[in-house]
Every structure is written in structure tokens, then in C-alpha cells.
């Protein structure tokens, strides 16, 4: 890629939050359901996550309504199914999972004989607004279906193998989300030649949402080309993760984005931050502003001061304007300007003397 403002292009994933969110535990709610607008917050709490409900937050008035302790696999599975259904419905409503597109996956367990990994993922061929928790697939780490959906005819998503690529290459990952967001796919077209393999943006407040990034950091996300079928993307995503081991997102040209995190909350926060930045980049480009270029700053030193600032400073020092600006920019001041300047200086001196 071309260097911007003399700086080396950033490496995707550098500075991103990695493995600093403790592994999550899902609490049991009433019958494993999410009771909206009643005694619970909208989203299910994780005792080590960022939600406010649960035993991890003693100041929450409804903390007792959620349990923060470890629960058995069957109860945890119910909670995860409800969570996937709820988040998918939200993303459908936002236009990020239109039609039957997009999907998400959550992994639980520790990988031991007593607590094996279990992967829950959205099915293919169903609109996310109509999907219930029991429509979610449960698989083991070898992609064997343990519990199929309750709705007849549902199949594993064509992106199913991609979940496992991420989980295998990034062992700390607990959640992967894929959207067909309009701005995600438009962000891959900011380079008209469609040859760029990295999306870049800098000097945006929402860059902080990625984690370990500041407002003025250069955020870089790798881009891969789309394929005729979703499952064919797996080899390219694998190559990207191996090339950028700290990367937590991949854009697919003319398609969408994959985002993952060490908890569902981290993945969700990242996804929403990324989409905001994608939209920002697209709109900046339409205004003729390159989102990946460091903006020019207005320095406060004398060499870049405006004529007005220089004249004011000159007046306060009781010197002529010619003493404060470059020779090439000098202009002859009229008698009236000189008189006004001296009068202003005298007035200031007089006022200062009153408080001396």
C-alpha cells in the first residue's frame, strides 16, 4: 500500500484488544428465556463481561434476579440460544442481516473432558426476525451436530466452516458475527480499482471501540475478495488470520464483514464500532476526504497564524505589523490603521494600570 503522510502502513490487528476480556459465564434466567422490559436488562448478563445485571454488580437493584454462578451445560445452552436469537433479530432490524443473510456463532466450554467445547450457530434459510432460540444449531468442536434446530428443514449455514477456522486459529475467541451491512461492503469499494487489500481510517472517535486504539490511531482491516459461495471464503480468511494473528475482523469485497471477540460483548461492541467507521469512511469519501489520511493540523505558532492574530499581537506589543510577518507578506498600513493600533495599545495599557 502507499504510505500516508510518510508513515508506514499499519498492520491489521496491531493494538487491538486481544485476550484481555476474561472467559465468560452465562447466567441462568427464568426458564432460559430473556424477559424483556421486566426484571432483567435487555441482554443476558455475563459475570465477567460488561453488562450491569447480575451478582458481579452489587449496586444493581435487580442483581438478585440473575445468577452469576456456573450452570450446567443444558441450562447454559438455553441461554446462549436465546442470546443468539435476540442479537440476530437486532441485526436484522438494523439491516445488517437482510433476507436470510448474515449469521453468528458463540462457543462455550473449556475444551476439557468434563467441559467440552460446544459451538452454537445460526441456521441457513431463515429470516433472523423469525428465528427462535431452538432454531440454533449446536455442534461439537469437530463440526458434528449435537442438537439440530426445532424447525424442520433448516440446514447448517454455508459459513459454518468459517466459524471453526476462527475458533481453531484464535483459541481465545468466543463469538464470531458476520453481517451483510451496506456500509461494510461499500467500504471495500473506496478504492475504485478494487485492488486494495486493507481498509484504513484514522482520526475518528469510534476507533476507540476496537480496543487499545486512540482517536488518532490508524485502524487497518484486511480485505479479501468475494467468492461464489460463502464456504469458499474459508481458505482466504485462514490466510489473513495467519498473516495478521492479532486481527479481529475481515472485510469481504462487495459482500460484508466478519468480526470476532473473546466474548459476545466484545464482538458486538467491535462490530457496531466498525460499522459506524465504515459509514463514516464512505460518507467522507463522498465529500472528497480520504478517511485513511492524517488530517492537516492548524499550528498555533507564528508561521501559521492568521493576519488578524498577528495584527492583534502586534498591537498589544506596540510595534508595527511589519515586525511580525514575513517580508513577502508585508503590506503598508494606512495612517488610520496605525492611529487605531496605537490608540488600542494605549487603552490596554491604561486598563492594565488600573489593576496593577
Going by C-alpha positions, the residue among 49, 136, 129 that lies closest to residue 84 is 136
Report residue 22 as a C-alpha cell: 476474561
For the chain, the C-alpha Rg in angstroms (whole number) is 28
**Distance from the first to the final alpha carbon of the chain:** 61
Angle between helix axes 160-169 and 234-243 (nearest 10 degrees) is: 20
Report residue 136 as a C-alpha cell: 440454533
Beta strands 249-252 and 218-224: pairing type?
A: parallel
Beta strands 118-121 and 137-139: pairing type?
A: antiparallel
| Cα distance between residue 261 and residue 212, in whole Å | 14
Q: What are phi and psi of 175, to 5 degrees?
A: -150, 140
**Which residues are part of the catalytic machinery?**
205
| Cα distance between residue 249 and residue 228, in whole Å | 21
CB 270 within 8 A of CB 248: yes
Amino acid at each position: 500500500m502507499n504510505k500516508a503522510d510518510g508513515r508506514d502502513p499499519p498492520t491489521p490487528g496491531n493494538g487491538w484488544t486481544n485476550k484481555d476480556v476474561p472467559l465468560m459465564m452465562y447466567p441462568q434466567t427464568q426458564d432460559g428465556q430473556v424477559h424483556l422490559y421486566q426484571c432483567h436488562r435487555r441482554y443476558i448478563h455475563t459475570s465477567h463481561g460488561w453488562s450491569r445485571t447480575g451478582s458481579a454488580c452489587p449496586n444493581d437493584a435487580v442483581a438478585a434476579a440473575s445468577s452469576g454462578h456456573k450452570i450446567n451445560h443444558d441450562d447454559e445452552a438455553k441461554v446462549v440460544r436465546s442470546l443468539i436469537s435476540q442479537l440476530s433479530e437486532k441485526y436484522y432490524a438494523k439491516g445488517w442481516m437482510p433476507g436470510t443473510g448474515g449469521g453468528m456463532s458463540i462457543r462455550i466450554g473449556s475444551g476439557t473432558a468434563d467441559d467440552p467445547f460446544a459451538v452454537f450457530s445460526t441456521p441457513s434459510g431463515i429470516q433472523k426476525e423469525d428465528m427462535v432460540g431452538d432454531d440454533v444449531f449446536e455442534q461439537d468442536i469437530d463440526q458434528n451436530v449435537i442438537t439440530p434446530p426445532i424447525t424442520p428443514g433448516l440446514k447448517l449455514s454455508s459459513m459454518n466452516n468459517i466459524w471453526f477456522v476462527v475458533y481453531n486459529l484464535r483459541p481465545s475467541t468466543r463469538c464470531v458475527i458476520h453481517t451483510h451491512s451496506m456500509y461494510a461492503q461499500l467500504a471495500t469499494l473506496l478504492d475504485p480499482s478494487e485492488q486494495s487489500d486493507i481498509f484504513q481510517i484514522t482520526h475518528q472517535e469510534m476507533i476507540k471501540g476496537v480496543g487499545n486504539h486512540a482517536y488518532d490511531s490508524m485502524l487497518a482491516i484486511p480485505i479479501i475478495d468475494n467468492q461464489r459461495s460463502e464456504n469458499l471464503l474459508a481458505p482466504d480468511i485462514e490466510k489473513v488470520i495467519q498473516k495478521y494473528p492479532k486481527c479481529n475482523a475481515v472485510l469481504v469485497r462487495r459482500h460484508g464483514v466478519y468480526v470476532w471477540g473473546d466474548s459476545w460483548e466484545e464482538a458486538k461492541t467491535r462490530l457496531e464500532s466498525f460499522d459506524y467507521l465504515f459509514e463514516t469512511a464512505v460518507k467522507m469519501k463522498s465529500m472528497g476526504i480520504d478517511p485513511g489520511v492524517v488530517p492537516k493540523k492548524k499550528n498555533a505558532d507564528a508561521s501559521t497564524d492568521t493576519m488578524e492574530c498577528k495584527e492583534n499581537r502586534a498591537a498589544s506589543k506596540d510595534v508595527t505589523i511589519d515586525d511580525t510577518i514575513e517580508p513577502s507578506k508585508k503590506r503598508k498600513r494606512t495612517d488610520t490603521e496605525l492611529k487605531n493600533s496605537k490608540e488600542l495599545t494605549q487603552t490596554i495599557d491604561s486598563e492594565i494600570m488600573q489593576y496593577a
